[in-house]
Structure 1
């Protein structure tokens, strides 16, 4: 049995993970880091630390030079990863090498996917053991080719919904998306904030779906994670707070695990 098959069998799908958590009436913690920041080897260690700390799903960013949805922290991480030589093939090899059972999601932008070839990229991601794709700069109306490739290779295509998204577009997204729905808790780019936006509750109540609702952008503490979960989210997404720990470069594995544990504890308080 080859490495690709072993990886695909060992890792859960997103739906399997949420089904398991719902059986325990437990919310999910989704953690984001940038692949290749500051190196491929360190990324593997960081993934282990997050999984040990309680991550249920890990988003592995693939760097792009013009990340329109990312704030300064993740933009800088992408630049470090690109400077370190991260490319599509290295990304897939990294994903294959990760010894974790939980689902891994690729978050990137449409330009590198298109340049590599949509079908080729999706096929490579699936063979590497990726469970889903998040590509924030492709409108749902223009995602037919990407969606078809994802369905062909068994990947979820995850769309974002913002406070400004119309009800009509939300219906399209719910029809074409899968895995989970990424709810942007506030307008603007990614980055840790002091508070949880009041628009979060409004957005959660507007979206009626059986698909898991995951809230991201601006969450960085266990208290905020608890608040978002209480508001009705099925999952909490945290990125910049983890990436900042990596950028600081001191006791990174220990701090990543500790923050993941704090966030998961906040989520569990509402279970």
Structure 2
């Protein structure tokens, strides 16, 4: 069965809501939860996630909120921290990776950490049994893919197109998928622009999908109360999970 990874913005609108939503998403079929660490300049993210990031920061998000939420949810749903290098750097990479392990979190997704720079932290992640997710893009050469995925853990994050999340572009990924499989047996999950309309097509040839903006847009819908937001997002998760496994 193909897997569903769901991204949400931590502490938006508050910690208790994030906990309730996370657990509900797990019950709805989300296999792995990306807890997004709010950041003022989320360069890989589109306007939907960027807005949620800024609102969470305006509401007073601190890293302790991430830790408090993770302590509750990580034992119940496979959890990764998704954030930008600045957030990890200020905590100290060894400290934050050890903290993740202690809370039951299983790894990190850091989109602005290039492969060459990530090598400096490989041992820290390995000794704490944490996965540092590898990225592959359509613009990567076969040689580059071989280098990047040779020690990939948990899953390989295939970026669906060059650009930012949520823009819904489409590219022929058959070659990059073939090249990735030639050098790694690690599952390939596709992200960027995946929603209920595109999920089935994007899931072809890969092992899972990563959905962010399609969920977060419901977090931003001020016409919905908390329970309605959770209902909308969990219904969407169920729909996408069904579609990718048809």
TM range (shorter): over 0.9
Which aligned segments of 4 or more residues in structure 1 are displaced greater than 4 angstroms? Answer: none
**Aligned partner of 2:132 among 141, 147, 157:** 157
Please give the TM-score of this superposition, normalised by the length of structure 1: 0.84
Contact 1:192 1:241 in 2 (8 A): no
Pairwise CA distance, 1:226: 1.8
Contact 1:122 1:150 in 2 (8 A): yes
Partners of 1:106 and 1:77 lie apart in 2 by 16
1:265 to 239, 242, 245: 242
Judged with a 3 Å threshold, the aligned counterparts in structure 2 of structure 1 residues 216 and 88 are, in CA distance, closer, same or farther, namely: same
The residue number in structure 1 matching 2:177 is 204
- Deviation of residue 120 (structure 1)? 0.4
Under a length normalisation based on structure 2, what TM-score does the superposition of the two structures give? 0.93
Kindly indicate which of the two structures has a greater share of residues assigned to helix.
Answer: 1
Residue 33 of structure 1, CA deviation: 0.4
Structure 2, unaligned runs of 5 or more = none
Cα distance, 1:50 vs structure 2? 1.1
Higher mean Cα deviation, 30-39 or 79-88?
Answer: 79-88
Match of 1:228 among 202, 222, 227: 202
Answering whether residue 211 of structure 2 is matched by residue 218 of structure 1, we say no
1:63-115 per-residue CA deviation (whole Å, 9 max, x = no partner) reads: 11111101111111111111222222221111001275331011101111111
Residue 50 (structure 2) aligns with: 75
Any residues of structure 2 matched to 1:167-206 within 5 Å, and which? 167-191=142-166, 193=168, 197-206=170-179
1:191–1:217 contact (8 Å) kept in structure 2: yes
For residue 207 of structure 1, give the secondary structure of its aligned residue in structure 2. helix
Q: 3-state DSSP class of the match of 1:199?
A: coil
Task: Go from structure 1 to structure 2 and tell me whether the alpha carbon gap of 1:116 and 1:100 turns closer, same or farther (over 3 Å shift).
Answer: closer
SS for the counterpart of 1:176 is coil
Q: Does the Cα contact within 8 Å between 1:51 and 1:100 map onto a contact in 2?
A: no
Equivalent of residue 49 in structure 1, options 9, 21, 24: 24
Q: 1:118 is matched with which residue?
A: 93
- Tell me the CA shift for residue 45 of structure 1: 1.3
Q: Distance between the aligned counterparts of 1:177 and 1:82, measured in 2? A: 32
- Residue 3 (structure 2) aligns with: 28
